[in-house]
Structure 1
């Protein structure tokens, strides 16, 4: 008898998995395994338990392939492992990535779905990295070229009515950098 077994993971800290679990249960999952965002994406205990629980003829159901894998290569190798176990795969949001369900799927749809998955996973990793940097007090992005000394010199030169291009040339930075730095300063009356 075919069992639908669900799996989901928290993509970003604090989002929870309750909505995904409810969606998977509504899709017919008899059991749903979960991992939170703190789990290392390469060694998720919930996913390992899920893969051990699956038997030949089962269907692994996810709300999105991004919840199953942290990288496209991991997704493809996981599907290969499922195929070896005679387990089918079903993504509720990406039907082109499902196995054994629709025999006439156009390969272009599969490639497009894999590309969307890759983009989504990059986005998830980027947001997680930015959140981690912010939590440790770091500001993401390029460091500014305008040091406190350069800003002070720019303020003095501006008070002498020097043009932005002149100030930029003296400081060895772009006029846009000078303008941004001066715009961030509080304006006096």
Structure 2
């Protein structure tokens, strides 16, 4: 049939897919399927419908491989499954990943590594956004509990150096400095009422 069928999804959370849809239509896609960013990457109805429509001789065209897959392994498995069905694959952003073209293996590996980095970045941003929406602060939790902060303040007010306080508390000197909000030379006075219980 030699139809170009397009697929994309909202990768950046809220920017939409219209620019991708326009690019795919401009590349000759007769029909374009889309999924919203919040859709579960394993259960994307637009991708499911798109893959079901494809027939032998068709070509799936995407703006980038990241739009198709959430991992490199998923990307490779999807393109392999398409090839076994006689369906081609084309990425507008990564020509080295298109099927049917003879590409330099170094270009293919470079494109796959770029895809891996992009997908990792997307997953990290999605995780941070999810944590923020739940009121959690992303990253490693602080080692300085309210009790440790109170002890650090008392020891600092007694004139103990930051390195001594860190050793007593079993944390790094930088953690103590950050918690006290002062340099090693400046004593800090914090009332107990200012600390969380």
**CA deviation string 1:122-156 (max 9, x = no partner):** 11111111111111111222221111121122223
> Normalising to structure 2: TM-score of the pair?
0.86
Once the two structures are superposed, the pairs formed by residues 1-189 of structure 1 within 5 Å of their partners are: 1-100=1-100, 102-103=101-102, 105-183=103-181
State how many pairs are aligned. Answer: 184
Could you state the TM-score of these two structures normalised by the residue count of structure 1? 0.90
1:120 shift after superposition: 1.3
Shift of 1:98: 0.2
Most deviating of 135-144 and 57-66: 135-144
Gaps of 5+ in 1: none
Deviation at 1:47, TM superposition (A): 0.6
Deviation at 1:172, TM superposition (A): 2.1
**Structure 2: 5+ residue runs without aligned partners?**
183-187, 190-197
CA distance in 2, matches of 1:166, 1:75: 53
Q: CA RMSD in A?
A: 1.8
CA shift for structure 1 position 85: 2.1
1:22 & 1:38 partners in 2: Cα distance? 21
